[in-house]
C-alpha cells in the first residue's frame, strides 16, 4: 500500500498500485506531470490518464534505442513528449520544457508546456 502523501510515478511498480490511489493523488500526479485533466470527473477517467502517463514514462526509460529526431534536443536522454505554446514547437521532454523561458527554435516566449501522448 502506498502512503497518503505526495506520490510520484517512480514509486509505482504495478498498475494495481495505481488503482489504489485516491482521486486526489491521481490529480496530484497529473498536475505534477503537467497533464491537463479538466473535464474529467470520474475516477476511472483520471485513472486512464495516469495509466497512459505511467506507461509512457516507463517506455521512455528505453529512450536509448530512439532515433535522434525523437529525442529531446536539450538533454538527449528522453523522448520529445511536450509541445511549447504559443509557438507549437515540439523539441523537448516535459522536464526540460518546464525550464525554458523561450523556445529554442523560434525564441518566442513560452506561455505553457503541455505534455503530448502518441496514439
What are the pLDDT digits (tens) for 4-38? 567 777 778 888 888 888 888 888 888 888 888 88
Domain ranges of the chain: 9-60, 66-119
For the cut 80, the answer to whether the pLDDT of residue 114 exceeds it is yes
Q: What pTM, to 2 d.p., does this model score?
A: 0.54
Q: Which CATH class is domain 66-119?
A: alpha beta
| Nearest CA-CA partner of 95 in 109, 111, 69, 77 | 77
Strands (E), the chain: 82-85, 112-115
- Tell me what the mean pLDDT of segment 41-49 comes to: 87
Span 67-77, pLDDT tens digits: 888 899 999 88
pLDDT at 112: 94
Higher pLDDT, 56 or 101: 101
Higher pLDDT, 63 or 18: 18
Amino acid at each position: 500500500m502506498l502512503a497518503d502523501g505526495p506520490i510520484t510515478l517512480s514509486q509505482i511498480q504495478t498498475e494495481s498500485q495505481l488503482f489504489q490511489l485516491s482521486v486526489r493523488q491521481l490529480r496530484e500526479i497529473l498536475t505534477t506531470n503537467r497533464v491537463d485533466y479538466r473535464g474529467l470527473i470520474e475516477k476511472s477517467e483520471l485513472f486512464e490518464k495516469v495509466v497512459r502517463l505511467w506507461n509512457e514514462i516507463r517506455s521512455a526509460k528505453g529512450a536509448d534505442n530512439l532515433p535522434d529526431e525523437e529525442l529531446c534536443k536539450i538533454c538527449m536522454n528522453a523522448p520529445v513528449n511536450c509541445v511549447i505554446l504559443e509557438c507549437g514547437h515540439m523539441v523537448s521532454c516535459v522536464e526540460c520544457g518546464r525550464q525554458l523561458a523561450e523556445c529554442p527554435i523560434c525564441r518566442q516566449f513560452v506561455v505553457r508546456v503541455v505534455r503530448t501522448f502518441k496514439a
